[in-house]
A and B are shown apart, each in its own frame.
Chain A
Amino acid sequence: MNTLLIVLLIIMEISQIHFLYVTVRDALNQALDEELERDERVFLLGEEVAQYDGAYKVSRGLWKKYGDKRIIDTPITEMGFAGIAVGAAMAGLRPICEFMTFNFSMQAIDQVINSAAKTYYMSAGLQPVPIVFRGPNGASAGVAAQHSQCFAAWYGHCPGLKVVSPWSAEDAKGLLKSAIRDDNPVVFLENELMYGVPFEMSEEAQSKDFLLPIGKAKIERQGNHVTLVSHSRMVSLCLDAAAVLAKEGIECEVINMRTIRPLDAEAIETSVMKTNHLITVEGGWPQFGVGAEILARIMEGPAFNFLDAPAVRVTGVDIPMPYAKILEDNSIPQIKDIIFSVKKTLNV
């Protein structure tokens, strides 16, 4: 048995197959580390990012390595430090402004929208704002109403912003690096429940120059019967639902949006023109949400004529998030909700 293992390992070494499992948290940490190293102007500020190693340990080890100048602990003053971050970006630095969760970004939303997003346009190209706002977004576990809101639709609404929502570890790393190198304001929506989830990290993704393009979705699973479009943690649920449905002969195509704005409508349209059925899946509220936008675009675009059934949305329930586990569980989409919606759409 042992010899078999040794032989296997030797074969793997020779053929350079390195299976590396990296959690989303570590992927983010790698991205931050690599970009801090690469460009002197990049720095991180936020609550507990330095000496505490990050509220969710995303910035672990960075303060030890880079020191006070580049990893800055802020007081609990979001509007103030977000504004300071934007000002620093205007003056030539490349700040990464962490919100402990995006719920707290509401305190600072004026700085994100009016000071960051709109400035390049208002100045007719004189004043770029190369900044990244990042942090966990959406529902967590048992944190109740004020700490569970999804902001994808709110930020996705505004021109001048790029809004990214990674799912896997590769997404997290490649997209965060791209966001930091982007010369424009990027809102980077992470997910607390995904931080600890390990993913296989390809050889390519382990490189220090691994970038993923902002604005391009990824097809995580090919299928012919229905298109499931999702972002962030809900991609996991879509894949799980797809696995269950596959046993019944229903093949779902699962699209991981990766970016909320600019939305890769083309990828979705191409898929819908193949499968003729569309379901969007998100954790956020239904009204004026990400799914609503996707459906509107499909209506207005070439894919409409290929729909065999109305496109529908699977979303969080239209209520503030409750605390009790049974209530919380039933406030966000579950795998059974996706399966149910697929079968209704396919009329099976």
Chain B
Amino acid sequence: DRVLLTGVINISVPVRSVCVCLCFHVTGARVVVSARTYADFTPQATFDIKKCDLHKLEEGPPLQAVLTREEGLQYYRTMQTIRRMELKADQLYKQKIIRGFCHLYDGQEACAVGIETGINLSDHLITAYRAHGYTLTRGGTVREIMAELTGRRGGIAKGKGGSMHMYTKHFYGGNGIVGAQVPLGAGVALACKYLGNNEICVCLYGDGAANQGQIFETYNMASLWKLPCIFICENNKYGMGTSVERAAASTDYYKRGDFIPGLRLDGMDVLCVREATKFAAEHCRSGKGPILMELQTYRYHGHSMSDPGVSYRTREEIQEVRSKSDPISMLKDRMLSNNMASVEELKEIDVEVRKEIEDAAQFATTDPEPPLDDLCNHIFYNDPPMEVRGTNPWTKLKSVS
């Protein structure tokens, strides 16, 4: 847990002026608030959320979600951080400071944030390559993430992994091979069951990956062995440039687990995602075996930075989602219309987030690249130092664990 900032905000409210002191944890579901609020902000409100489509389930998550002011501010901050971080990455990529693959997550923030609020940091999570958002929610810092994208020694993987290979505690990446992370996630769940630690594994994949054979192999074993695994399909409607209708004989991804119960829900609504995740986590922890969630979401960027994202979908479609279903706007509107926060307060958060991103980008562009001595390190764990052949027979490089 990290205390990111302590700020003093003066808010003028018609009746009286207010002094508010807030401490935020950006990562994790827990928020500590030491607030002296005399405000007449609503401390919490109940929101109706869309009903989930159910598969092989008698009942689903609740139709209402309670959101406290603190939670709302935290979700807002985290989603905004992911949004701005991804946009900054876009910028740096166009400046050629980030290279190679860069798969951006903007638009899908409610998924990463909602899921994390439904589980604990002691639970486990694995996803595919569109992983920057999850690296953050799982405990990574913006600095380390950006420095990894720019390939510097301060990167979360010391510059050796790049965009698709970021790891933190109980977060197994960042995986480049489509679908390969799904059996891995079930394996993590197997370990949870084996060790009897009441932890679960959230195992994510996209609509493109959903047709992979190894995923069906995994459904089978997870179900047979009742592994505590939440399979989550982030359906953003396009597998690279191929729309779901052109790739899948059945686009009811929440039903594709067949014998595995499933839910389909609005992945743009952080509260929907949270409630469904809580529901799914409870299902797994009670020993019922795996469960499948399909989050209907959308990515604003193309598949990766080399894809403009408009050859297979229209700008109008993208614009429509942005104006009608943006996850951050949705939360903001909810909070403002229920007097749970003020416009100025949220703007203040925006400013802080922007600064954090700027500082991180500054670090990411000025931190030195990894030293050449590091080239051959980390081949093996817990092994004595060894020699590695260089590019020619006379070059012998050193490798330490």
Contacts and interface: CB of A to CB of B under 8 A. Distances in A.
B180 A114 contact: yes
Interface stretch (B108-116, B218-226, B254-262, B292-300): B218-226
Given A93-B194, A115-B175, A120 B378 contact: yes
Sorting the interface of chain A by its residue count into under 10, 10 to 19, 20 to 34 or 35 or more gives 35 or more
Contacts of B217: 75, 77, 79-81
A90 B381 contact: no
Contacts of B173: 119, 122-123, 127
Interface string B169-201: 000110111001011111111111011000001
B389 to A, nearest CB: 9
Contact of A125 (B165, B175, B194, B401): B401
B229 to A, nearest CB: 10
A89 interface: yes
Contact of A120 (B124, B184, B380, B393): B380
A119 B383 CA distance: 16
Contacts of A300: 393
A183 B379 CA distance: 11
A83 B183 contact: yes
Contact of A88 (B157, B182, B188, B379): B188
Contacts of A130: 381
Contacts of B189: 87
B251 interface: no
Nearest to A78: B217
B175 A69 contact: no
A84 B183 CA distance: 5
B205 to A, nearest CB: 12
Contact of A114 (B177, B188, B190, B386): B177
Contacts of B393: 300-301
A120 B381 contact: yes
Interface centre among B157, B165, B187, B388 (most CB of A within 10 A): B187
A126 B195 CA distance: 21
Contact of A90 (B158, B188, B194): B188
B177 A110 contact: yes
B191 A93 contact: yes
Nearest to B162: A122
B339 interface: no
Contact of B221 (A69, A80, A127, A159): A80
A310 interface: no
A116 B159 CA distance: 19
A86 B190 CA distance: 11
A69 B194 contact: yes
Interface string A91-103: 1110100000000
A226 interface: no
B88 interface: no
Contacts of A124: 157-161, 374, 377-378
Contacts of B185: 87
Nearest to A72: B225
Contacts of A80: 183, 186, 214, 217-218, 220-221
B129 interface: no
B7 interface: no
B379 A87 contact: no
A181 B55 CA distance: 44
B382 interface: yes
B24 interface: no
B287 interface: no
A79 B213 contact: yes
Given A87-B187, A87-B191, A115-B184, A81 B177 contact: no
A89 B381 contact: no
A89 B187 CA distance: 8
A79 B388 CA distance: 30
A126 B172 CA distance: 10
A84 B186 contact: yes
Contacts of B157: 122-124, 126
A31 interface: no
Sorting the interface of chain B by its residue count into under 10, 10 to 19, 20 to 34 or 35 or more gives 35 or more
A224 interface: no
Given A77-B220, A80-B220, A262 B386 contact: yes
A92 B191 contact: yes
Interface string B364-380: 00000000001001111
Nearest to B394: A300
A164 interface: no
A99 to B, nearest CB: 15
Given A84-B187, A87-B188, A123-B157, A43 B381 contact: no
Given A81-B217, A86-B184, A184-B380, A122 B190 contact: no
B180 A84 contact: no
Contacts of A82: 183
A83 B218 contact: yes
B192 A83 contact: no
Interface in A180-207: 183-184
Contact of B160 (A83, A121, A184): A121
A85 B183 CA distance: 8
Interface string A247-288: 000000000000000100000000000000000000000000
Interface centre among A79, A90, A124, A262 (most CB of B within 10 A): A124
A230 interface: no
Given A91-B124, A114-B177, A125-B381, A83 B165 contact: no
Interface string A123-155: 111111010000000000000000000000000
B167 interface: yes
Contacts of A227: none
B382 A128 contact: yes
Contacts of B180: 83, 110-111, 114-115
Given A91-B192, A124-B161, A127-B167, A83 B382 contact: no
A122 B187 contact: no
19 contacts: A43-B194, A72-B225, A79-B217, A86-B183, A87-B172, A87-B183, A91-B188, A91-B191, A93-B191, A111-B183, A121-B379, A123-B378, A124-B160, A126-B157, A127-B167, A184-B380, A184-B382, A300-B393, A301-B393
Q: Which 9 A-B pairs have the closest CB atoms?
A: A87-B187, A83-B183, A80-B217, A91-B191, A87-B184, A300-B393, A124-B158, A128-B381, A77-B217
Interface of B: 124, 126, 157-161, 165, 167-168, 172-173, 175-177, 180, 182-192, 194-195, 201, 213-214, 217-218, 220-221, 224-225, 374, 377-383, 386, 388, 393, 401
